[in-house]
Every structure is written in structure tokens, then in C-alpha cells.
């Protein structure tokens, strides 16, 4: 069973009790971050937590290890010297300089301490230090019972050193917590306990996390089913940059759970997709021993990733992009399920796309899949883009028409399809490829953006009297095809739909 530690970091000592009550309901262990509020000794804190029913860790970070802390070496030494009344079973988190001070420094022997209950910790919020092995060895040379090493991941491949530390500690029969901080490091928080990590950290709610990349206790237990993950668990995920907004982990993990499969689906954020494939995915070259069985590929990697694959299906080759990878033996096979996922909802809405006049706005991988799918449905296609040269290039490649964005009116089209990020939750949410006036006379507006539920483009379409089709339909349709490729079984599409809609704000 994975041990989940809920950190408590509040600004006032009188807020600790309420925070502990909330954490106690869901935590296996509670970490009390004494560096989060002004405190000269531990006596007040001890009175506050004297009746805590769950195991706990007392932590006092240095400014070097956490920029929020104002506790220099002398202040931290005074704090721990005042902690002589700590219960014998309590865990304490001491950074290496404090461990050295109370083990062999000037304060050696002055603090009654059970070294097996000491977590010797090191945090690097800049990246992965080149001397990580030496840092581990220095910490392992102390009498501390548990080592904790947290580095910062800028890319998914930065998780490899954390997994290497877990493997080394297991061979050396040492207890360790190894974590990569940040969104690209999320996999270490989810997979760590199954690979020997002493515990993993998670807040009760997103707004009270104590480090970048933490996800909530509920997400760890309910979505990722962390207590079921083991070394044989099959691993799938989505590779892109960014991926934190993706609904795919919610959709596929719900589908795996409904089928009772020993599988988990994770977000993998990488800027260098090819390096990720070589170092972490391809069976012939990967540096991590794990049961990775398949990937979803999203922007901006759908085309560049093709050079790393051993086989690509005809649709992927013709489109020039893949969104699905299946590990088959010692090979990687690539597929494009975007085209089928795009066409299925459109066919349901129109009855048939044959002869439909379609404007595809955008020139990226999604646009290529849409054009390919529409061509196979015998629709009439026009590529519309801000850069006329890109539109013309794509039009030539697929033998369709092109036009420069924006158009005065889309009235000459039956269907207008947005494949751009305009309208996406965040910086582009107030943007749209067309106004209601420009859409008058159009039969159907199809937005591949799915968050928010109704984009500015779709609101304009409804005002103009058009039918509106959300990108959630394409997302779900292509996810069903991916699931079948990975598992050979049909997923419960209703479960997938509920998981997707349940995550989107109203």
C-alpha cells in the first residue's frame, strides 16, 4: 500500500489544528511544516499536535531548501534543540547540514534522537544536480533511517535520476523518498511507492500544495488508483507540452478501472519528444525497467515523433502525424486515431459528409487529420489559415483549396472546423476564429477545442443559428480507438464520457 503524506503549511500556529483535522481524514502520514509560520521553539507546536492520531513528520526547512523559510542554521539548531520532548515514534525531517550537526558536529549528543526516525533530506529547486550520486552517498553515510532527495524536472526525462535512486536504494536495502518536483516530475509521485519510495506527498486540495507538481490525495487514490499500482502494472500516458490541461488521464484511467485492468495512464511532459522515446519508451534503448505499453501523442509532437517509430499505419503516413503509439514486442507502432475520431461525430451530425463544403481553419497536425478524414468522406475542403503559404502548402499536399484567414464570411460553407488553439481555456479563451455575423448561413460549427465546454466560437455559432459540435466528441471517439489498440477490448464509452464531463467546469 502506498503511503500518502499530507503536508500542512499554514501561516499561523492557531490554524494548525483545523488543517490537521482535515488532513487526518485522508492522510496516512501528516507532515507539519514548522517553517511556514513564525516559531522560535517547538513547545507551542507540541501542545497543538499532542493528540494527533496519525503518524507525523516534523519539518523545518532552510532558506536554501525552500525560499519561503526564514530559518538560518542557528535558528534551525535552536528549534531542534528545543524539541527534546518529541515523542519517540515521531519522524523528523533534517537537512544534511542539521544531520551532520547533531551526529558529528558541535551539537553531537545534545539532542535525544532516534536516528531511525530521521529523514535526511535534500531539495534542489533549480534542476537535477550533476553530483546527485555524491549527494546520495553523503546522506547514506549518516545514521538517518530514511533519505529524501527531491530534484526539479524540466522535462520528463529528468525523472530518470529519481528512479535510478529508488533502484539503488532498494539494492542497498535503504529507505528512500525520491521525487522529481514540477509537472514533468509527476510520474515519480504516482509510480514512486510501487518502486520502493517510502512515501509520496499530496495535499488535500490543489491550493494548499507545498511543492510544484503535487496533485491531491483524491487524484492519487481515485483517479490513478495508487494503492493498486505495482511493478507489473501496465503504463500508458499522454506525451506533449503542455499536458497538465489534458482530460485523457481522467478518461483512460476511468476506463481502465471500469474494465478491472491493472493499468494506469499518466501525463508525460517533454520538450524533446524524441529523447523521451529513446530514453524512456523504446524497448531497445529505454533506460527504465517499466511496463510501458502505449502512448497518446499530442501537440507539438505528432509529426516529429514519427522518426522514432518502427512501423506507421497508412493513415498516419498519409496524414503526416500520429497520435497513438503501441509497444509491440521490441517495436513501436504508430497510428492516427484523430481522423476516425474527428469523422465519427461529424458523420453522426450530418448523416453524411459527402459533398459537404468544409472550411478547416488551421494547419497543424489536427488540421491534417481532419482534411484527410474529410477527403475520405468525399467532402469539399478548403484550408483557411493566417499564413497563406502554409495554407497553400497543405492544400497542395492534400489536393484541396486554400484561403487566407480571416474571411469576411463563411456563408459559402456548410461546415466550419476550428483546429487552432483559439478559444482554449486560459490565454486564448476570449478568442474565436469567427463572429456570429461571419457564421450566418453555415449549417454546422465544429470546434476541436473542448475546454471550456462551450467556446466563444460555439457561442457565436449558436447565435448565428448554426448547429454546434464540441471537441469533446472527437476527444472521446479517438480515445475509444486508442483504448482498443492498446488493450484489444472495447471500453465503456459512457464511463469515458462521464469522466470527461465531470472534469470540465460548467
CATH number for position 88: 3.20.20.70
pLDDT, position 84: 67
Are the CB atoms for 362 and 369 separated by under 8 Å?
A: no
Flag whether pLDDT at 244 surpasses 90: no
Same domain, yes or no: 8 and 28: yes
Flag whether pLDDT at 69 surpasses 90: no
Are the CB atoms for 412 and 440 separated by under 8 Å?
A: no
Least confident of 63-72, 166-175, 476-485: 63-72
Which of 212, 229, 246 is at the close of a domain? 229
Examine the residue annotation and report whether 484 is marked as an active-site residue of this protein: no
pLDDT, position 171: 97
Same domain, yes or no: 292 and 180: no
Residue position matching grid coordinates 487529420 = 369
Average pLDDT over residues 84-108: 87
The active-site residue out of 259, 284, 302, 484 is 302
Same domain, yes or no: 280 and 369: no
Mean pLDDT value across the chain? 93
Number of domains in the chain: 3
Same domain, yes or no: 64 and 198: yes
Note whether residue 223 is domain-resident.
yes
Same domain, yes or no: 186 and 147: yes
53 or 199, higher pLDDT:
199
Question: Looking at the chain, how many residues does it have?
Answer: 506
Are the CB atoms for 417 and 448 separated by under 8 Å?
A: yes
pLDDT, position 116: 94
Average pLDDT over residues 271-287: 98
pLDDT, position 109: 83
In this prediction, residue 11 has a pLDDT band, given cuts at 50, 70 and 90, of: confident
Same domain, yes or no: 309 and 401: no
432 or 111, higher pLDDT:
432
Give me the CATH number covering residue 326: 3.40.50.10860
Note whether residue 63 is domain-resident.
yes
Average pLDDT over residues 78-103: 86
Flag whether pLDDT at 229 surpasses 80: yes
Beta strands in 200-300 (DSSP E): 200-201, 234-240, 263-269, 292-297
- Distance between CA atoms of 299 and 364, rounded to whole angstroms? 9
Average pLDDT over residues 392-398: 96
Average pLDDT over residues 379-392: 96
CA trace torsion 233, 239, 242, 246 (10° rounding): -60
Note whether residue 146 is domain-resident.
yes
74 or 212, higher pLDDT:
74
Are the CB atoms for 77 and 116 separated by under 8 Å?
A: no
Average pLDDT over residues 230-234: 97
Note whether residue 90 is domain-resident.
yes
Beta strands in 45-126 (DSSP E): 56-59, 91-95, 118-123
Beta strands in 217-374 (DSSP E): 234-240, 263-269, 292-297, 311-312, 324-328, 331-335, 357-361
* Overall pTM > 0.75: yes
Same domain, yes or no: 131 and 168: yes
Note whether residue 306 is domain-resident.
yes
Name the percent of the chain lying above pLDDT 70: 96
Nearest to 268 by CA among 180, 151, 187: 187
Which residues have CB under 8 Å from 485's CB, separation 6+? 294, 324, 326, 335, 337
Average pLDDT over residues 264-287: 98
Flag whether pLDDT at 198 surpasses 70: yes
Same domain, yes or no: 40 and 155: yes
In this prediction, residue 188 has a pLDDT band, given cuts at 50, 70 and 90, of: very high
Average pLDDT over residues 58-80: 83
Note whether residue 342 is domain-resident.
no
Flag whether pLDDT at 107 surpasses 70: yes
Give me the CATH number covering residue 395: 3.40.50.720
The range of the structural domain enclosing residue 155 comes to: 4-229
Flag whether pLDDT at 259 surpasses 70: yes
Note whether residue 341 is domain-resident.
no
Flag whether pLDDT at 42 surpasses 70: no
Note whether residue 454 is domain-resident.
yes
Same domain, yes or no: 48 and 175: yes
Same domain, yes or no: 163 and 26: yes
209 or 496, higher pLDDT:
496
Same domain, yes or no: 278 and 180: no
Q: Dig out the grid coordinates for 265 from the structure.
A: 495512464
Same domain, yes or no: 400 and 494: no
From residue 455, alpha-carbon distances to 221, 229, 384, 406, 426 in Å are 32, 37, 19, 18, 12
Are the CB atoms for 306 and 312 separated by under 8 Å?
A: yes
From residue 488, alpha-carbon distances to 309, 318, 333 in Å are 21, 24, 15
Flag whether pLDDT at 40 surpasses 90: no
Amino acid at each position: 500500500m502506498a503511503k500518502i503524506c499530507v503536508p500542512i503549511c499554514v501561516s499561523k500556529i492557531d490554524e494548525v489544528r483545523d488543517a490537521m483535522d482535515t488532513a487526518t481524514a485522508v492522510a496516512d502520514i501528516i507532515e507539519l511544516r514548522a517553517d511556514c509560520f513564525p516559531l522560535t521553539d517547538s513547545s507551542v507546536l507540541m501542545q497543538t499536535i499532542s493528540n494527533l492520531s496519525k503518524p507525523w513528520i516534523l519539518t523545518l526547512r532552510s532558506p536554501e531548501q525552500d525560499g519561503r523559510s526564514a530559518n538560518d542554521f542557528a535558528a534551525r539548531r535552536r528549534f531542534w534543540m528545543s524539541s527534546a520532548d518529541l515523542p519517540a515514534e515521531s519522524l523528523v525531517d533534517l537537512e544534511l547540514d542539521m544531520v551532520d550537526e547533531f551526529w558529528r558536529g558541535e551539537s553531537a549528543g545534545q539532542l535525544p534522537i532516534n536516528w531511525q526516525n530521521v529523514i535526511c533530506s535534500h531539495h534542489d529547486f533549480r534542476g537535477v544536480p550533476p553530483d546527485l550520486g555524491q549527494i546520495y552517498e553523503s546522506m547514506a553515510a549518516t545514521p538517518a533511517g530514511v533519505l529524501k532527495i527531491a530534484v526539479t524536472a524540466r522535462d520528463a526525462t529528468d525523472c530518470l535520476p529519481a528512479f535510478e535512486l529508488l533502484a539503488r536504494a532498494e539494492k542497498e536495502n535503504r529507505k528512500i523518498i525520491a521525487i522529481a518536483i514540477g509537472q514533468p516530475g509527476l510520474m515519480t509521485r504516482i509510480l514512486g511507492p510501487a518502486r520502493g519510495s517510502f512515501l509520496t506527498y499530496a495535499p488535500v486540495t490543489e491550493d494548499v500544495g507545498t511543492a510544484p507538481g503535487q496533485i491531491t490525495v483524491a487524484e492519487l487514490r481515485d483517479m490513478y488508483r495508487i494503492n493498486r499500482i505495482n511493478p507489473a502494472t501496465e503504463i500508458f500516458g499522454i506525451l506533449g507540452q503542455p499536458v497538465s490541461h489534458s482530460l485523457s488521464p481522467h478518461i483512460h484511467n476511468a476506463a481502465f478501472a471500469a474494465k478491472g485492468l491493472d493499468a494506469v495512464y499518466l501525463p508525460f511532459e517533454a520538450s524533446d519528444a524524441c529523447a523521451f522515446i529513446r530514453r524512456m519508451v523504446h524497448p531497445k534503448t529505454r533506460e527504465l525497467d517499466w511496463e510501458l505499453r502505449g502512448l497518446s501523442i499530442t501537440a507539438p509532437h505528432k509529426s516529429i515523433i514519427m522518426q522514432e517509430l518502427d512501423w506507421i499505419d497508412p493513415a498516419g503516413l498519409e496524414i503526416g502525424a500520429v497520435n497513438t503509439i503501441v509497444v509491440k514486442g521490441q517495436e513501436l507502432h504508430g497510428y492516427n486515431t484523430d481522423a476516425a475520431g474527428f469523422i465519427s461525430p461529424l458523420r453522426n451530425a450530418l448523416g453524411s459528409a459527402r459533398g459537404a463544403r468544409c472550411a478547416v481553419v488551421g494547419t497543424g497536425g489536427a488540421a491534417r487529420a481532419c482534411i484527410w478524414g474529410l477527403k475520405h468522406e468525399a467532402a469539399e475542403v478548403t484550408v483557411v489559415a493566417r499564413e497563406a503559404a502554409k495554407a497553400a502548402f497543405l492544400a497542395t499536399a492534400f489536393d484541396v483549396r486554400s484561403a487566407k484567414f480571416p474571411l469576411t464570411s463563411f456563408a459559402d460553407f456548410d461546415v466550419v472546423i476550428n483546429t487552432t488553439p483559439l478559444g482554449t481555456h486560459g490565454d486564448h479563451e476570449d478568442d474565436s476564429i469567427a463572429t456570429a455575423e461571419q457564421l450566418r448561413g453555415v449549417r454546422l460549427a465544429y470546434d476541436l477545442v473542448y475546454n471550456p465546454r462551450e467556446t466563444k466560437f460555439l457561442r457565436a455559432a449558436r447565435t448565428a443559428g448554426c448547429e454546434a459540435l464540441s471537441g469533446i466528441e472527437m476527444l472521446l471517439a479517438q480515445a475509444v480507438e486508442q483504448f482498443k489498440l492498446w488493450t484489444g477490448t472495447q471500453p465503456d464509452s459512457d464511463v469515458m464520457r462521464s469522466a470527461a464531463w465531470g472534469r470540465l467546469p460548467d
